[in-house]
Chains A and B, each alone.
Chain A
Amino acid sequence: MSCKRYRRLLWSYASDELRAAERAAVEQHLTCCAHCRHTLQSVQQTLQALRAMPRHRAPESLLARVHAEIARQPAKRTAVPSGRRWMVPLGWRWALAPVLGVLVALLWWWSQSPHPTPPQPFPEVAVTSQEYAETCIEMHQQLEMADWAGTPTANYLITTGFTR
């Protein structure tokens, strides 16, 4: 173990806070390290001076007043209606006013500007593909008959509406 590690233990050694094994290890190191012995001396003197420092105690009457005030604090907090706790304090409300104004202006600008309508889905085909194919074939046949026939047939006139 290095001197740096022992230096940390010297404070606990001087305060008699070490376990037996650690204490023995520190004492063994101190027998062969003059630097740590010197450090221990300054640690002990510093510790002694620290513990001799005056403890500035407040008068009992002041302590009693402080404790009484602390005891009153939770009562003040609970006195606030629970339904209004979400409300923003007045100072913050003033600070938020410009932000709200900008938001309203943006919303108005967005509602006024032309924006592309989203693509509409194709209307549903009323007939099935089978029916559509049959209709196409039928019309094709009628057109063929109209192209090739010298005079329109009665069937062609009836299906195409040229009855007059």
Chain B
Amino acid sequence: MRSDWEFPDTTQPSALDQLLSKELEAVVEQAVHSLSPKLKTVLLLYDVEGLSYEQIAETLGIPMGTVKSRLFAAREQVRKQVEPYLRGESE
């Protein structure tokens, strides 16, 4: 038995996990691009670019409530498109 044998590091994502993560990102990206321009803009500005609700409202010239409702609608549309992939992955 080799004395320098170590347990695999399970805290780091495996190659399979990384591959699945890349696949999921591709599915999400496709779902994002299928959104309407209004929803896509708010989603990308908030979740990808990290702008605040106030900054988005000011930039687009819309009320903050509209920003929140568009963000929720966009996220739900993306999740519903991604969910079948996630179910297939978990099975």
* Chain A residues close to B by CB (< 8 Å): 7-8, 11, 41-43, 45-47, 49-53, 55
Contacts and interface: CB of A to CB of B under 8 A. Distances in A.
Chain B interface mostly helix, strand, loop or mixed? helix
A53 B32 contact: yes
Nearest to A51: B47
Given A42-B82, A42-B83, A43-B79, A50 B28 contact: yes
Given A42-B82, A49-B24, A53-B25, A11 B32 contact: no
A53 B79 CA distance: 15
A53 to B, nearest CB: 5
B19 interface: no
Interface of B: 21, 24-25, 27-29, 32, 43-44, 47-49, 72, 75-76, 78-79, 82-83, 86
A70 to B, nearest CB: 14
B72 A50 contact: no
Contacts, number: 47
Nearest to B71: A11
Chain A interface mostly helix, strand, loop or mixed? helix
Contacts of B48: 50-51, 53, 55
Nearest to B48: A53
B49 A50 contact: no
A11 B28 CA distance: 16
A49 B25 contact: yes
B72 A46 contact: no
Closest 3 CB pairs of A and B: A49-B28, A50-B47, A46-B79
B28 A53 contact: yes
B86 to A, nearest CB: 5
17 contacts: A7-B76, A11-B75, A43-B79, A45-B82, A45-B86, A46-B28, A46-B78, A46-B79, A47-B47, A49-B27, A49-B28, A50-B47, A50-B48, A50-B75, A50-B78, A53-B29, A53-B44
